[in-house]
Amino acid sequence: MPTTKTKTRVRPRKPAPRKPVVWNLRLYVAGQTPKSIRAFANLKVLCEEHLKGRYKIEVIDLRENPQLARGDQIVAIPTLVRKLPPPVRTIIGDLSNNMRLLVGLDLRKVD
């Protein structure tokens, strides 16, 4: 008696959904100076516009924790350090120049 073979379909596996990269940003300030407040506000606006739901901002006040400046080699304030995604990027100033900030964070290429 002939045997019948049943064909089984092999479904291609769907790739696992990629978890979006969370941007880890550190803003170094020295107290609540107008420049520091402006830097935080400018950064928050940019993140909400370009990284909504995918960013974490850590504000480090060097008046309270001056030893933390050494780890990221902070020489001026306010300074923004992008820890993730790599590579580490550093931007100094009040972050008011949006184009410079976008290029510095590698969110936009230089035209």
Residue-wise pLDDT tens digits, 28-76? 999 999 999 999 999 999 999 999 999 999 999 999 999 999 888 999 9
Domain 23-104 falls under CATH 3.30.2400.10: no
Which of 26, 101, 111 is closest to 65 using CA atoms?
Answer: 26
pTM value is: 0.79
pLDDT of residue 7 exceeding 70: no
Pairing of strands 23-29, 79-84: antiparallel
CA dist 107 → 29, 38, 98, 110 (Å): 23, 20, 11, 10
Token output for 3: 């045997």
On average, the pLDDT of the chain sits at: 88
Please report which confidence band the pLDDT of residue 78 belongs to, taking 50, 70 and 90 as the band edges.
very high
| DSSP run (H or E) holding 1 | none
